[in-house]
Structure formats: C-alpha cells, structure tokens
Chains A and B, each alone.
Chain A
Amino acid sequence: MSQIQERGSTHVYKVNKISKEEMDAMTARCVYEQPSFCSAACPLKLDVRAFMQAAAGGDFKKALQLYEKVAPFPLALASACEAPCEGKCRLGEIGDAVSIRAVESAVARFGEGSKLGGVFRMKKRKTVAILGADLLTLFLAGELEKKAYPVTVFCEQADLESYLRACAPFLSDALFPLEYKRLQEKDIQFEFDRRPDAALYEEIKARFDVRCASMDAARALFPAAAPVQELMFLEEEKLVCGESAGVLDKAFGAKKAALTVDRLAQNLDPRNMRGSEGACESRLYTDLSEAKSLRRVPCGEEGYTKEEAVREAGRCISCHCEECLKSCAYLKHYKKHPGLLSREIYNNTQIIMGDHPLNKAMNACSLCGQCSVVCPNGFDMARVCAAARRNMVSTDKMPLAPHEFALMDMLFSNNEAFLSRPQPGFETCRYVFFPGCQAAAIAPATVKAAYLDLCARLEGGVALILGCCGAIADWAGREEMEEQVRAQLDRELAKLGDPVVIAGCPSCAKELRAFSGREVRGIWDVLLELGLPAGARALERPAALHDSCGARGDEATQRAIRALAAQLGCTLTDTPYSGDRSPCCGYGGLTAYANREVAAELTDKCLERSDAPYLSYCMACRDRFARQGRESRHILELCYGTDAGSPPDISEKRWNRLSLKNELLQELWLEEPMEKKRDYQLLWTEEGRAMMDERMILADDVIAVMDAFRENGEAIEDEDGLLVARRRVGNATFWVKFRIEGEDAYRICRAWSHRMNVVKREG
C-alpha cells in the first residue's frame, strides 16, 4: 500500500493568508460579545450584567464601583434616570422587566463608595473652570474630578448646599444628605457668589486652560450660542457647553463634554478619537425558555431595602448567547465562544515561525455543523476549522500525525479492500450499492445481506463498490487526496455505466452527491419503496434515534429513517437535540483520531440524552455508542435481521473489509482472491491486543515487524528472555515484544511505536 509523505521540515516560513474581510465575515456572526440589550440602551454603557451579578450576590461595594464608573453622583442619577434599559429588558417580554433603576438606587444608598477621589491623588496640570449650576455641570465636575483635573466651579449660590439643591432639586430629603456628603468628599474647588458675566469670563479665560459652562450661563454670556451637540462644544468661543433634555441625557452630555475637555487639554481636535458614544443596538440572542422569576419584587416609596434589592437583582438572567456552548461538547471543552475560538484558529494559521498552539483545537472540531443550526445566526465552526486545515496543509505546516492513521485507512479502503464490480450477469448496471467504508468494517454481514437483497429485488442490475467516498481526506483538509478519490470513483462509476448510487451512509451520500453529479439515493429510500426484506425485526425496547450529522439539513432522509423505523415496528423515544440539531458521535471530522478526549466527550453528549438503546443510521455512530457500552444498533441491522455484535478493534475493522471483499469475490464473481499466506503463527496476549488498539498499532504493523525478524533475525533479548524486534513502516517505527513458542509460532506481548527515526551515530 502506498504511504503518505510526511512533511519534510518544521522550517517552513510561509503562510497562506486569509484576508481580514474573510475572517471578519467568519466571526461577525457570533454575538457572544454583544452587549446585553439593557446595556446597549444605556448611553452611559453601564455593564448591567456585571452590576446585577454583584448586587444579586450582595456585593454592593463592587456594584457601586461599577455604577460610579458611569455616574459620579449615583444617587442623583438613580433617583431620576429615565431608565431606557428597563424598556429593553428581555424579561419584560414574558413578565416584569427587572427594576434596574430601583436596584441602582438601593446600591447607591447602601453601597460603599470608591475612595479614588482623595486630595492626595496626582492631579493633571491642565486646569478646568465650570461656570453655572445645573445637573449637567454637576455631573461634568464629577467626571473631570474622576479624570484628575483640577476643577473649579463658579456659581451664583452662596454655599455648597444651595449649589447642590440648585443642581438636583429632585433629590428627596432622605437622599440629599447622602449626595451632599459625597460632593463634600470630592476634590472640587468652589467659588461661590460668582455671577457669570463678561468680567468673570475674562478672568477664567486668563486663569484656566479649559472652560466649561452650563447652557444657562453660556446663554447669559453669548445669547446666540449654538454649540455642536455631539461634542458639547461652542467652537467660536472654545467653550464646553451644550443642550440636554432629561436626567440621563444630562449624564450623557457630561460624558461627552468630559471627553471634549480631555481632547482640548491635550491640544487635540475634539472631533477625533471619540470611540463609540451613546446607546446602540445589540444583536445578542437570549434564550428565555429557562427564565424563572417573572414577577418584580414590589418596591415601596422609600425604594428597595438591601434584601429586596438583592432579590430583584437576582431576577436578572444575565443575557448571554450560549446556544452553541450548551449543545456542543467541543466548544464546551475549549470553553470559548466560536467568535473567539475562530479568531485564535485564524491566527494559528498565520504563524510564520514557532509553535502553533491551536493545532489541536483546529483538528478537534467534528465538522458536524451542529453549531450552524443551534446558533441563532448560523455560525459555522466547521467552515472555519475545515478552511484552517486546508490552509495549513497548503503551506506544509499541517502535522500529518493526527490524521495519518485515518488517511492510511482510507488508502486501505480504496486499494487492498477496494472492490468495484457489476452484478454478475451484467456489464453495466442501473444501480450501484455504496455501503461506505465503516459499514464494511463494522457490519460486513449486514452489507452482504443488503447487497444480495438489492440484487434480488431491483431490476436492471446492482453493482457494488466497496471503498471510501473521500470524506476522510476532506475532513483532514487534504484536497489533493480527496481529488484522487473522486477521480477513482468517477472512473469506476463510468465503467459501471453511470448507475444511480444507493448509499448506505448519509455522509457518503452527501459527499457523492456533491462531486459526482449523479443521482444518489439512500438505501433507506429504496427499502421504503421495496418494502422490508424478510427477516426484518424491531428492537424489543423503545430506542432513542440518533440522527447522523451527515443528514443535517436533509429532512427527507430524516423522515425516511423514521418511516422505516415505524415499518419495522420500533418505538422511538423523543430526545433533545434530534433532527438537524443532532450532535456528532465523535467520529466526524476525524476527532476520534486527532483528539480522543474531545471525541469521548462528544459521544457522552450524545448518550446523555437518553438511557434507551440507541438506533442510528450511520455505522460510525453505531460503533462509537457501542464502544461506550451502550446497546447500539444500525437500522440496516434491524432491516436484515443481522447483529454486528460487539465493536471490532482497529485491526478487525481492516480484516472485516478485506474478508468481505474476498468472500464476495469468491461467492458472487467466482474469483480467487489474492490472499497472502503466512508461514508462521501469531498468538496474541489479551494485554497486547488491547494495547495495540489503544496505541493505534495494527496487526499488519506487527506482522511487518515479525516478517522482518524472520528474515534478518534482528532482535534484542531482555532479562526475562523476551525478544524485541522492530521495523520502520512508512512514517513510524514499530516495536514488538514477543516470546518464541515452538518452531514457527510467536506470542505477542507488547507493542509500541514512535515517529522519530533513530540511527546509530558514528564517532
């Protein structure tokens, strides 16, 4: 059998660039990083999820710190904020929205404020003056103090108390002292009894670097003042001021004004580098099906008590889109949302020198496409990982090791175990049965029964092709090998008279349909038309039907399988994630070869849906479920009354394919198969056999080593009298530890391998 060329070197300094646009198009669909709807509605961009989480946990200090980031005077804002966030709360669609403002107010009352505003903090050198007394300039003073500007407020009022009353007249008697204390603690200078007039304006122009004013004060000085609202800036006077409507708008105006002050203080144009300001739309998706607490905690006139606020905050469902993470064991394993994981995998392909840390993650995706169905925006991780694999192969940076076994298996299926024959008595056929490589490997008797049945009941001749459809090369990102398989199958199909393909596996059907341009039907469709063969039998217990990922988006196949199961008399139990939402069994995408841990988690995810026996229509699914100890049957086993029994190991899978081919060649086509005869006997210890399966060492590899030993006699003898022989086969060296038993018999005790080549060094 031909071998696959290992890449020559790790010193490859080229990459196949993926454009940024292509990358952005890939990642833009993931909405995990979108703000929650409430935060998006808030022009101040309060992180409501984090705030509510802190409040719900009783950590009012942290909650207040988060709130103070957007509101230097939290009580003033929380008392009168118009709270557009509450209108966007998703709970409002099925019950009461969370009373965000009331919780904010409670946090502002009970929380311990930040200690940042001390007089010892290093101040900026540029000074700012604020003229007038209104809520916007109060907020602005707070914002600028937070940014460590030396701020001086010039107001008509005689003292601090009357200043605060003028700014926030709506503060209740209970709240006023609290906010007054907060104002006192801030490092803001005041000059009282200063009416905003031309003389004062000239004075502050001389004394301060940046000037701000309330809109009333600005109008008193410049009656025709028309500031640019987006910047809160009267350009001709270089005066920071602007109009504002409600309380929240004043807080937002203060934020915009503070940014303008920042730019002016650095002698920069206030138009530039402003980032995104104000409220925005969120594309987030929220699953409301699990929301429990729909009724708001009643709020008295005095606002929530601490306990009530904790309870109300606890109602927040912290809107996050985790649909894919909930359903996909692969994404769950890497604990990353697909937007982030895709970016990391993209970066992995673009590394010119050094380690590629995301190789394993890139190769662990089962390419099953479940995410594209469960994601409300259709994010397709399979597209990202498949493209990344092809990209790495194209630059010779893709390691062969994770996929070599599977690719060699594909070559085996399409060489030694390959069979393509018209039905005996026909030169060309109307149909060809293509059961798929896994069916022949796992359930050869079922394949034989199905073929004989199709030959007997269909008119026009049924040819047979035993081989691989090329999906394995596709999954490995090896386009060249995939092309070779396609060309081989195209040639064979043409020789057979371009028959209609009857596929035994939904993945093969998909692959063959995609490239051959020929009509491809599932054997399930044919059996529905012909009726069940004699000997068909149902499962005695109700079974969970596992939909194959090869049939995702193929409603006709999913329906046909259910109809066939009904004809068989099977009772099917409902499972979550069925139909198009079905998870992968762990075989798809070569996960089982590249990352066994993730593959096992994928299998577990499938099996956690039901305790019933599993019925599937893909042989790989049947095999993986059975290996995990679950009673597992393929629907064709039921149709033909066969039982493939306990799952074969990797060597038996090859032997099954070869035996099926030879058996059919002898019985149907009366050809003598080319069987290699060994002139010695191999005996296996149970431990050795299990070890080989675990280490992906085939019986053929062991035979190759023993052939070499018999030829050259080279081996090591250890202290226990056991011999160890070795042979380099393809890209690996295989070692076999054995005992000689009699003249021509060897008992295999252990086997191991490595890919590195070892040679003797001179000197």
Chain B
Amino acid sequence: MAIEKNYYTIDPQGRLKCFKCGVALVKGKAKFMYLDNGFPVELPVCPVCGFVYVPEELALGKVASVERALEDK
C-alpha cells in the first residue's frame, strides 16, 4: 500500500479536550480544501464528534501562506 503523504502534522498529546464530548483530542486525519485543491494533513481531532481543530499559529502561518500562493495561481 502506498504511504499517504501528509502536508502537516500536529499531535495534541492530550493537551486539548473536546468541550462537548469531554474526551481528549487525538491526532487525526483531516483535509484542507481551497479553490479546488486539497491537502491531506493530521490535526487534533475529537475521536467522538470529529471536531477538527486549527490552532491560531497554523491558521496565520502555513495556512495563510498556502492560501496566498493558491490565490495568485
């Protein structure tokens, strides 16, 4: 089986909790999508309800720069 590439990985290491489900977030599979482009990533995800968390640093850093690059395509 081919190894799936992840563009970015964040492991919450038990530091974050889902407020609704009351369980710790785990490293889970997610996908960023923008202008018909998709990027598989691993982010903190609630194992029960599936809430995907995008921390501030990621949103303003990597995500913002990829957005800008795609917008100018």
Task: Tell me the residues in window 17-72 of chain B with beta carbons closer than 8 Å to chain A beta carbons.
Answer: 17-20, 25, 28-37, 39-40, 43-45, 49-54, 56, 59-60, 63-64, 66-72
Instruction: Among A400, A723, A735, A760, point to the contact of B50 (Cβ < 8 A).
Output: A760
Cross-chain pairs A/B with CB under 8 angstroms, 14 sampled: A6-B35, A10-B37, A356-B72, A356-B73, A359-B71, A399-B71, A716-B16, A716-B25, A716-B53, A723-B19, A754-B64, A756-B32, A756-B67, A758-B31
- B15's contact among A9, A719, A760, by CB below 8 Å, is which? A719
Q: Give A234 to B43 CA distance when docked, in angstroms.
A: 82
Q: Are B32 and A716 in contact (CB under 8 A)?
A: no
Q: Are B73 and A717 in contact (CB under 8 A)?
A: no
CB <8 Å contact, A760 and B67? no
Asked if A527 lies at the interface with its beta carbon under 8 angstroms from chain B, I say no
Q: Which A533-580 residues have C-beta < 8 A from chain B? A: none
Contact residues in A for B69 (Cβ distance below 8 Å): 355
Decide: B34 and A752 in contact? CB cutoff 8 A: no
Pairwise interchain contact B63-A756, C-beta atoms closer than 8 A: yes
- B71 and A750 contacting across the interface, CB-CB below 8 Å: no
CA distance A754 to B20 in the complex (A): 23
A714 at the interface (CB under 8 A from B): yes
Selected from A714, A755, A760, the residue in CB contact (under 8 A) with B34 is A755
Q: Is the CB of A759 within 8 A of B67?
A: no
Instruction: Give complex CA distance A758, B33 in Å.
Output: 6
Contact B52 A760 (CB under 8 A): yes
Q: Is the C-beta of A2 less than 8 angstroms from some C-beta in chain B?
A: no
Given contacts A714-B19, A716-B19, A759-B52, contact A752 B60 (CB under 8 A): yes
Complex contact A758–B52 (CB within 8 A): yes
- How far does the alpha carbon of A356 sit from the alpha carbon of B73 in the complex, in Å? 6
- A10-B70, A715-B19, A761-B30 known, 11 other contacts, Cβ within 8 Å: A11-B36, A715-B20, A716-B17, A724-B53, A735-B59, A755-B67, A757-B34, A758-B33, A758-B54, A759-B30, A759-B52
CA distance A261 to B57 in the complex (A): 68
What 4 A-B pairs come out closest when comparing CB atoms?
A9-B36, A399-B71, A10-B73, A761-B29
Contact of B16 among A401, A718, A735 (CB under 8 A): A718
Residue of A nearest to B50 (CB): A760
Number of interface residues of B (CB under 8 A): 41
Report B-chain residues with C-beta under 8 Å of the C-beta of A298.
Answer: none
Interface membership of A8, Cβ < 8 A = yes
Report B-chain residues with C-beta under 8 Å of the C-beta of A357: 72
Interface centre among B37, B51, B60 (most CB of A within 10 A): B51
Tell which of B20, B45, B60, B73 touches A760, judged by Cβ atoms closer than 8 Å: B45
Interface residues of B, Cβ cutoff 8 Å to A: 15-20, 25, 28-37, 39-40, 43-45, 49-54, 56, 59-60, 63-64, 66-73
In chain A, residues 712-743, which have Cβ atoms closer than 8 Å to a Cβ of chain B? 712-719, 723-724, 726, 733, 735, 737
Asked whether A223 is an interface residue with its Cβ less than 8 Å from the other chain, the reply is: no
Please indicate the chain A residues that have their CB under 8 angstroms from the CB of B44 in the complex: 716
B65 shortest CB reach to chain A, Å: 11
- Smallest Cβ-Cβ distance to A763: which chain B residue: B29
A300 within 8 A of B: no
A6–B37 Cα distance when bound, in Å, is: 13
Q: Is the CB of A733 within 8 A of B54?
A: yes
What's the Cα separation between A451 and B31 when bound, in Å?
A: 53
CB atoms of A756 and B33 under 8 A apart: yes
Q: With A757-B33, A758-B31, A760-B28 in contact, do A750 and B56 touch (Cβ < 8 Å)?
A: yes
Is A305's CB within 8 Å of the partner chain B?
A: no
A interface residues, Cβ below 8 angstroms from B: 6-11, 354-357, 359-360, 399-402, 712-719, 723-724, 726, 733, 735, 737, 750, 752-763
Contact A714 B33 (CB under 8 A): no
Cβ A717 vs Cβ B72 within 8 A: no
Q: Are A762 and B56 in contact (CB under 8 A)?
A: no
Least CB distance, B60 to chain A, in whole angstroms? 6
Contacts of A762 in B (CB 8 A): 29
Contacts of B17 in A (CB 8 A): 716-717
Cα distance A360–B50 in the bound complex, in angstroms: 37
Of B17, B29, B39, most buried by chain A (CB within 10 Å of CB) is B17
Chain B residue nearest in CB terms to A755: B67
Residues in A with CB closer than 8 Å to B39 are 756
**Bound complex: CA A724 to CA B54 (Å):** 10
Please give me the residue from chain B that is nearest to A398 by CB atom. Answer: B71
Q: Which residues of A contact B34 (CB under 8 A)?
A: 755-757
Distance in Å from the Cβ of A399 to the closest Cβ of chain B?
4
Of all chain A residues, the one with the shortest Cβ separation from B63 is A754
- Residues of chain B within 8 A (CB-CB) of A750 are 56
- In the complex, how many angstroms separate the beta carbon of A4 from the nearest chain B beta carbon? 14
Cα–Cα, bound, A754→B69 (Å): 14
A735 CA to B63 CA, complexed, in Å: 14
Separation of A251 and B70 alpha carbons in the complex (Å): 57
> What's the least CB distance linking A553 to chain B, in Å?
34
| Smallest Cβ-Cβ distance to A725: which chain B residue | B19
Other-chain residue from B32, B66, B73 in contact with A758 (beta carbon distance below 8 A): B32
Q: Which residues of B contact A716 (CB under 8 A)?
A: 16-19, 25, 44, 51, 53
**Chain B hits for A715, CB < 8 A:** 18-20
A187 to B12, CA, bound (A): 78
Instruction: Assess A757 versus B32: contact at CB under 8 Å? Given A724-B53, A733-B54.
Output: yes
Contact of B67 with A754 in the complex, beta carbons under 8 Å: yes
A401 contact set on B, CB distance < 8 A: 67-68, 71
Shortest Cβ gap from B35 to chain A (Å): 5
Residues of A close to B28: CB separation below 8 A: 760
Q: B29 and A714: CB pair below 8 A?
A: no
Complex formed: what's the CA distance from A7 to B70 in Å?
Answer: 12
Our pick among A9, A712, A714, A724 for the contact of B35 (Cβ within 8 Å) is A9
Known: A719-B15, A724-B53, A733-B54. A8 touches B36 (CB 8 A): yes
Q: Does A714 contact B20, Cβ atoms closer than 8 Å?
A: yes
A157→B50 CA distance, assembly (Å)? 100
What CA separation (Å) do A540 and B44 show in the bound complex? Answer: 60
**CA A576 – CA B43 in complex, angstroms?**
56
Q: Are A760 and B56 in contact (CB under 8 A)?
A: no
Closest A residue by C-beta to B51: A714
A712 to B63, CA, bound (A): 26
Bound-complex Cα distance A399 to B34 (A): 12
A758 and B70 contact, CB distance less than 8 A: no
A400 to B52, CA, bound (A): 25
A691 → B minimal CB distance (Å): 10
Closest residue of chain B to A757 (Cβ to Cβ) is: B33
Task: Pick from A11, A354, A716, A750 the residue with the most CB of B within 10 Å.
Answer: A716
In the complex, which residues of chain A have a beta carbon less than 8 angstroms from the beta carbon of B25?
716
Which residues of chain B are near A10, meaning CB under 8 Å? 35-37, 70, 73
In the docked arrangement, what's the CA distance between A719 and B17, Å?
8
Structural contact, B59 and A752, CB atoms closer than 8 A? yes
- Contact partners of A7 in chain B: CB under 8 A: 35
